[in-house]
Amino acid sequence: KNEVEQSPQNLTAQEGEFITINCSYSVGISALHWLQQHPGGGIVSLFMLSSGKKKHGRLIATINIQEKHSSLHITASHPRDSAVYICAVKPYGGSQGNLIFGKGTKLSVKP
Amino acid sequence: KAGVTQTPRYLIKTRGQQVTLSCSPISGHRSVSWYQQTPGQGLQFLFEYFSETQRNKGNFPGRFSGRQFSNSRSEMNVSTLELGDSALYLCASSLRGTQGHEQFFGPGTRLTVL
């Protein structure tokens, strides 16, 4: 069993829809990252969370440390949101770069 | 402020050769981490450097090595290349490499081993 599980693996949505991507992990962590990767490979860090909720524009990320679960929400989705979204956790005691990654969720938003 | 840069962006090598990849972090960032991304395994942590010292290493064979220079630029080296080393190699920098600091990723180097 992977230490970081994401669901769904693939997601197709219509423009304007509300989207949720889930991440569950099995190790104790000190931080969780949500990353966005566009075709071509470049990765952008969207959020780094250790508790609660963060919001940036149309993106919202939440984390429940007790349940070892995080969600990434996209409101009013747009075709430019099409990308792979990756959840990554930093285990307790690890250094900043020592991350464990989920397999990613491929999102396609149709106009 | 310039972002994280990686050179070269694309590389083709043959089995048995060695390769060196370079990463220049954002100015002022002292921590550089390296990751390998393959279709089968996804993203995996290779190693992390902070102030010229390796702080952590992932589960990769000794053929994978790295170093960091006094200006925080980092290189990684893969010797005796195997077909399975074909991957996108990403580096990321952060301010101090301690808890609470966001990581900024470079565009990656795509290595193809023939």
A63-106 pLDDT, tens digit per residue, is: 999 999 999 999 999 999 999 999 999 888 766 678 999 999 99
d(CA B16, CA B27): 35
Give the burial class of B44: count Cβ atoms within 10 A of its Cβ; 0-12 exposed, 13-18 middle, 19 or more buried: middle
- pLDDT band for B103, please (50, 70, 90 cuts): confident
If you average pLDDT over every residue of chain B, what do you get? 93
Q: So what's the pLDDT on residue A102?
A: 96
Contact B56 A99 (CB under 8 A): no
**CA–CA gap between residue B105 and residue B26 (Å, rounded):** 10
Which residues of B fall within a CB distance of 8 Å from A44? 105
For chains A and B, CB pairs below 8 A equal: 76
Q: Ramachandran region of residue A24, left (φ > 0), alpha (ψ -120 to 50) or beta?
A: beta
What single-letter DSSP state applies at residue A79? Answer: G
Nearest CA among B58, B40, B93, B103 for reference residue A47: B103
From chain B, pick out residues whose CB is under 8 angstroms from the CB of A102. Answer: 42
The minimum CA-CA distance between A18 and chain B, rounded to whole Å, is: 26
Per-residue pLDDT, B97: 59
Q: B95 Cβ partners below 8 Å, 6+ apart? A: B28, B29, B30, B31, B101
How confident is the model at residue B98, as a pLDDT? 54
* Contact in structure between B114 and B81 (CB atoms under 8 Å): no
Give dist(CA A3, CA B29) in Å, integer: 29
